Amino acid sequence: MPRPRQPLISRTGAVAAAIEIIDTEGLDALSLPRLARHLDVRAPSLYHHFDDKSEILGAVVAAIVADTVVPRKPPPERWVDWFVQLSLNLRRVVLRHRNAAPLLLQYPPRDLLADLYEDAARFLEASGVPAEVHVQILDSMDTLVLGAVISEAARTPAARRAIFPNVDAERQPTLARALERNEFTANQLFEEMIRSFLHGVLLLAGQRTASADTASADAAEAVAPS
């Protein structure tokens, strides 16, 4: 398809328009002709900035994720708080664009914004977190955070009002009692999930190290001359 000699639109403006269409009309509504009409240009103008629709969708994800506020780095002993706040900020941004949330599966942020993960890895290193758990933390945080947020974004407005929306106290009495005792909001449950995971990683890493040290000591004792 021929391209105009001079671009009539900016890449940033096209991505913003794509997000607006997805937000207001749904993900399936976005197409190159629809985006061109929204921008009041012809479709070939988009090819100054994008090879195809897939590139536009990737740019949409990158723009949404890049809108996440990165918290100021706290003292090293509070590294968990930094990851919790970053996760909450990402959750907030994605839930502002619920219709676009499924794109995070097709275009994972780690494939688009590697520098963000480098920054997180550097902070882990500076905070004294053992290097052998850095990948575990970064990879699992992706799974936990994106999985939870995408699932939440897909819920209907009616389902969002309750953590377990269809519980019958007579048929599910134990779950009903648990819900009565629960003091956490959905946002707080999300926060505690992240915090519990990160503390658990360190706890298990320490246990593995202790077990390895004990095994090494036992082995050394076994071969020592009597």
Query: What average pLDDT does the chain have?
Result: 90
When pLDDT is averaged across residues 53-81 and rounded to a whole number, the result is: 95
DSSP per-residue letters across 150-202:
HHHHTS-TTGGG-SSTT--TTTSHHHHHHHHH----HHHHHHHHHHHHHHHHH
| Residues 27-56: b if buried by 16+ CB within 10 A, e if exposed | beebebeebbeebebeeebbbbbbeeeeeb
- Choose among 35, 136, 66, 56: nearest CA to 103: 56
Residue 89 has pLDDT above 80, yes or no: yes
pLDDT tens digits, one per residue of 144-159? 999 999 999 999 887 8
pLDDT confidence of residue 162: 86
The pTM score is 0.85
pLDDT confidence of residue 1: 47
pLDDT confidence of residue 135: 96
Quick one: angle between helices 134-153 and 79-95, nearest 10?
A: 30
